[in-house]
């Protein structure tokens, strides 16, 4: 089975590639080769699984055909212009998040019509398809009400995913990922970056800014859980999904204050003192329109699992991304 990851140099894509190179199988089906694509050249994961790495812009002419030219059996579509950037760059957001996704879906459809090609396609969607006013928790049958360009773009692709799957062009599954915390390395352009920053920087003894109030409540899962969701989705019997191909993934509902308390339990008051409150009305407005918690019953019934507490999210980060960390 050939596996393609689009967005493989990103935070989740790189971790997914490493996990697949270790597992060498998905739901018992052996992986014969990995293909990794991103704007920047992805790094091949350790191990001897054959791996082809390509720098490629998914918005370029012919890129979609090129991506599926080897007819991968499983495609993880993770490339995106993330929330903050898509809000600043309206045209760019639609080009990357909608037009390039549609071009990919069309390239698959043409190969389907020519030769019956119909891969599994796993799409990373977002909680941003939901915008206030919302019930708390948000149930699985809540209608999509995006209030950002990024959320609108993800909602459009969710609809395309349903229709192309209904037609049998591919076997699609979409996952609304929680905000991924703790994101290792440098922050990206997501408006939600501070949810990781207020833990990651103080854990490293560095200052961090908090742009929203401590009462803000949000839905979080670790990078390890996100990779687990994607792998599970790739191997799932999609007959269980029915016509609605995208599901909200499980997570931890917590306030920012709850995150800071957990930081204090792990790293002490000195770490907490490194967080400076610097209100940012623009970020606060965007985050304020986001959902706070979910009842992800469909995903839970299908065996998708996340952490149970912020303490666990921190423990996963220290294990996976900060080995050797000790409290100062």
Ligand X SMILES: NC(=O)c1ccc[n+]([C@@H]2O[C@H](COP(=O)([O-])OP(=O)(O)OC[C@H]3O[C@@H](n4cnc5c(N)ncnc54)[C@H](O)[C@@H]3O)[C@@H](O)[C@H]2O)c1
Instruction: Tell me which residues are annotated as active site.
Output: 150
Work out whether 295 is an interface residue with ligand X (CB under 6 A). no
Q: Determine the interface stretch with ligand X among 129-137, 141-149, 175-183, 198-206 (rule: CB under 6 A).
A: 175-183
Tokens 């003894």, residue located: 205
Pattern of binders to ligand X over 48-67, x per CB under 6 A? ---------xxx--------
User: Can you tell me which of 79, 108, 256, 286 binds ligand X, judged by CB under 6 A?
Assistant: 79
Nearer to ligand X among residue 17 and residue 266 (C-beta): 17
| CB environment 71-89: b (16+ within 10 A), e (fewer) | ebbbbbbbbbbbbbbbbee
* DSSP string for 87-142: HH-HHHHIIIIIIHHHHHHHHHHHHHHHH----EEEEEEEGGG--SS--SSEETTP
Tell me which residues in 28-47 interact with ligand X (CB under 6 A): 38-40
Query: What does the alpha-carbon distance between residue 256 and residue 39 come to, in Å, rounded to a whole number?
Result: 33
User: Can you tell me which of 7, 93, 151, 197 binds ligand X, judged by CB under 6 A?
Assistant: 7
Work out whether 271 is an interface residue with ligand X (CB under 6 A). no
Query: What does the alpha-carbon distance between residue 189 and residue 70 come to, in Å, rounded to a whole number?
Result: 32
Query: What does the alpha-carbon distance between residue 30 and residue 32 come to, in Å, rounded to a whole number?
Result: 6
* Closest residue to ligand X: CB criterion: 10
Size of the site for ligand X (CB under 6 A): 24
Tell me which residues in 124-153 interact with ligand X (CB under 6 A): 124, 126
Q: Tell me the Cα Rg of the chain.
A: 19
Helix then strand count (H, E) for the chain reads: 13, 16
User: Can you tell me which of 4, 177, 191, 266 binds ligand X, judged by CB under 6 A?
Assistant: 177
What minimum distance in Å lies between the beta carbon of 119 and ligand X? 18
User: Can you tell me which of 138, 180, 286, 287 binds ligand X, judged by CB under 6 A?
Assistant: 180
- 120: β partners: 74, 171
Work out whether 283 is an interface residue with ligand X (CB under 6 A). no
Q: Determine the interface stretch with ligand X among 74-82, 201-209, 255-263, 313-321 (rule: CB under 6 A).
A: 74-82
User: Can you tell me which of 148, 149, 152, 179 binds ligand X, judged by CB under 6 A?
Assistant: 179
Backbone angles phi, psi at 53, to 5 degrees: -110, 130
* DSSP string for 131-161: -SS--SSEETTPPP---SHHHHHHHHHHHHH
What minimum distance in Å lies between the beta carbon of 116 and ligand X? 28
User: Can you tell me which of 145, 188, 295, 300 binds ligand X, judged by CB under 6 A?
Assistant: 188
What minimum distance in Å lies between the beta carbon of 327 and ligand X? 26
Work out whether 85 is an interface residue with ligand X (CB under 6 A). no
What minimum distance in Å lies between the beta carbon of 7 and ligand X? 4
Nearer to ligand X among residue 154 and residue 298 (C-beta): 154
What minimum distance in Å lies between the beta carbon of 17 and ligand X? 11
* DSSP string for 203-261: HTT--EEE-S-TT-EEEEE-HHHHHHHHHHHHHS-GGGGTT--EEEPP-EEEEHHHHHH
For residue 205, count other CB atoms closer than 10 A to its CB: 11
**Interface ranges with ligand X (CB under 6 A):** 7, 9-13, 38-40, 57-59, 78-82, 96, 124, 126, 177, 179-180, 188
């Amino acid at each position: 089975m050939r596996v393609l990851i689009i967005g493989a140099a990103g935070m989740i894509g790189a971790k997914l590639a490493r996990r697949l190179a270790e597992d060498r199988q998905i739901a018992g089906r052996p992986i014969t080769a990995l293909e990794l694509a991103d704007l920047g050249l992805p790094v091949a994961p350790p191990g001897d699984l054959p791996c082809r790495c390509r720098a490629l812009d998914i918005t370029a002419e012919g890129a979609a055909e090129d991506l599926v030219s080897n007819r991968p059996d499983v495609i993880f579509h993770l490339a995106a212009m993330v929330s903050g950037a898509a809000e600043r760059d309206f045209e760019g957001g639609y080009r990357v998040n909608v037009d390039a996704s549609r071009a990919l879906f069309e390239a698959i459809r043409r190969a389907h019509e020519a030769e019956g090609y119909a891969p599994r396609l796993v799409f990373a969607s977002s909680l941003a398809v939901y915008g206030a006013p919302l019930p708390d928790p948000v149930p699985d049958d809540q209608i999509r009400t995006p209030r950002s360009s990024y959320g609108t773009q993800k909602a459009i692709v969710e609809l395309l995913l349903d229709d192309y799957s209904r037609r049998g062009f591919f076997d699609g599954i979409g996952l609304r990922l929680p905000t991924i915390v703790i994101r290792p390395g440098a922050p990206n352009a997501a408006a939600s970056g501070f949810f990781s920053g207020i833990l990651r920087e103080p854990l490293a003894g560095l200052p961090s800014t908090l742009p929203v109030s401590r009462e803000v409540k949000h839905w979080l899962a670790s990078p390890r859980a996100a990779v687990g969701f994607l792998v599970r989705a790739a191997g799932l019997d999609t007959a269980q999904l029915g016509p609605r191909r995208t599901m909200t993934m499980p997570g931890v509902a917590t306030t920012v204050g709850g995150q800071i308390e957990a930081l204090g339990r792990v790293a002490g008051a000195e770490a907490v003192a490194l967080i400076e409150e610097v209100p940012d009305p623009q970020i606060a407005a965007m985050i304020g329109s986001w959902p706070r918690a979910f009842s992800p019953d469909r995903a839970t019934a299908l065996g998708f699992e996340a952490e149970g507490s912020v303490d666990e999210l921190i423990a996963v980060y220290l294990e996976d991304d900060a080995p050797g960390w000790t409290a100062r």
